[in-house]
Amino acid sequence: MKRIGIMTTGGDCSGLNTTIWRIMCGAKLRGWRVFGIVDGTDGLYDTPPNAIELTDDMLTVEMTRMSGSFLHNGHAGALNFETAAAHGKLNDFNKRLHKSLAELKLDAMVLIGGNGSISLAWAHREIYRDVQLVCIPKTIDLDIPLTDRTIGFDTAVEQLTKFCDQLMLTARSHHRWFVVQSMGRDCGALALHAGIAAGASAILIPEIKFNTDALIKHIKNAPTDYGVIMVSEGITLRGHSGRPADMISRKLTAAGIVNRTAFPEHTQRSGDTTATDRILATSMADTALNAIENNETFVMVAQQDGKCKTISLAEFATAGESVADPNIPDMKTSNAYVDLDDPLLDVAHDMGIYIGEVK
C-alpha cells in the first residue's frame, strides 16, 4: 500500500481544495493512504512533522469549492528556504525536510505550488531523493512555463472581472475613470484576460512598453467619459515611484481626467472556484496519480492543447526565463510571461483597447 503526501506551498488561490480532495479520492480508490502536510514546508520542518491522514469526513465535496487551502500554505515567522539561507541554515533545513519524509514513510509527494515553489523543489531535489515527487502548478499569475493553464487563474480572472463590473456602475454615475491595479507580479496575463472580460478601455502590462501621452490621448478620445483602466502591478514608469495605479492616476489627473484608483488586492485569490478551475484541478490530480502509479518522479503536470500530461522538472527549469533569487544563493526561478504573439493582444488592439506601443 502506497503512502502519499500532499503539500500546498507559496501563495494561496482557489482550486487548491478541489485538487487536494480529488487526489485523496483517487488515491483511496487505488488503496493508498493519503497524508496532508499542514503549513507546507513549515509543517514538514516541524519535529515531529505536522501531518494528518486525510479521511472522507475531513474534507467533503461541498468544502472543495472554497478558496484557500484546507492544509494551509505556511505562516509568518517560520523557518523557510529564504530565512534558512539568510541564517546560514539552508543545509540543515534541507536535511530536516528529508528526514521528515522518511519519518512519515512516504512513497510519493504531490507538491501543489507556483513557479517559485516548483523551482525550489527542483533546485533542492536532494530533499525528495527517496520519494516520488510530482508537482501540480497553481497560481493566479499564469507565470509557469510549459503549461497553458494553472489552477486558480480562471477564478482570479472571474474575481477581478466582477470587481471591475461593480466599479463600472459607479464610474458611469460620476463620469469617472477607475485605475484598477491587478496582481500578477511581473506577468500581465491576469490583467490582460480580466481587462478584456471587463471591457477595460486600456490595459497596461509589464511585457509591453506604453506611452503615457498616448494613453491620455486614448482616454480623452474614448466614446464615454468613464471606464476602467487595468494596470498590472508589475509595470514601471520611468522617473516615478510608488504603486503603479497611483503613478498612472497622477498622470491622468495632471491631464484633467477625473479618476480614482482601486485595489482589489487579495480578493483576486478568493471566491468560489469556477467550474473551469474545478475541471482543471480534477484533470491535473488524475494525471498526478497516474504518474505515481507509473513510477514517475521529478515531474510537473502541465496542460498543453487541452490535455494534461507530465513533463520533467529539468525541462521546466530550462524552458522559462531564469531569474536569480536575491535571497537564496544559486537559486533561480523559471518564469513565463505574456507572449507577444498571444492572439489576445491582437483581439484587444482590434477592439480599440490601448495595450501599449505594439502596433
Phi-psi region of 214 (alpha: psi -120 to 50; beta: other; left: phi over 0): alpha
Tens digit of pLDDT for each residue in 241-272?
899 999 999 999 999 999 999 999 999 999 99
pLDDT, tens digit (0-9, with 9 covering 90-100), for 144-161 = 999 999 999 999 999 999
Section 207-223 average pLDDT: 97
Which CATH number does 156-269+341-350 carry? Answer: 3.40.50.460
pLDDT attached to residue 300: 98
Could you give the percent of the chain with pLDDT greater than 70?
100
Contact 174, 247 (CB under 8 A): no
Condensed to tens digits (0 to 9), the pLDDT of residues 77-115 reads 788 999 999 999 999 999 999 999 999 999 999 999 999
Instruction: Give one DSSP letter per residue of 317-332, joined into a string.
Output: HHHSEEEE-TTSTT-E
Q: What is the pLDDT of residues 193-210, one digit of tens each?
A: 999 999 999 999 999 999
Helices (H), 87-129: 90-103, 115-123
The mean pLDDT of the chain is: 96
Residue of 12, 42, 141, 277 with catalytic role: 141
Cα–Cα separations (whole angstroms), residue 6 to 55, 142, 153, 287, 319: 13, 22, 21, 14, 26
Q: What share of the chain is helix, strand, coil (3-state, %, to 5)?
A: 40, 20, 40
Catalytic residue flag (residue 141): yes
pTM, rounded to two decimals: 0.97
The pLDDT value recorded for residue 79 is 87
- Can you give the residue ranges of every domain in the chain? 3-151+273-319, 156-269+341-350
Sheet holding 227-232, edge to edge: 202-204, 227-232, 177-182, 259-262
Tell me the CATH number of domain 3-151+273-319, given options 3.30.565.10, 3.40.50.450, 2.40.33.10, 3.30.365.10. Answer: 3.40.50.450
Whole-number pLDDT of residue 359: 55
Is residue 36 over pLDDT 60? yes
Do the Cβ atoms of 86 and 80 come closer than 8 Å? no
309: nearest Cα among 107, 117, 136, 122: 136
Cα–Cα distance measured from residue 98 to residue 127, given in angstroms and rounded to the nearest whole number = 5
Q: What is the largest CA-CA distance in the chain?
A: 69
Other residues' Cβ atoms within 10 Å of the Cβ of residue 234 = 21
pLDDT at 358 over 80: no
**Span 348-352, mean pLDDT?**
96
Write the DSSP string, 156-179.
Answer: HHHHHHHHHHHHHHHHHHTT-EEE
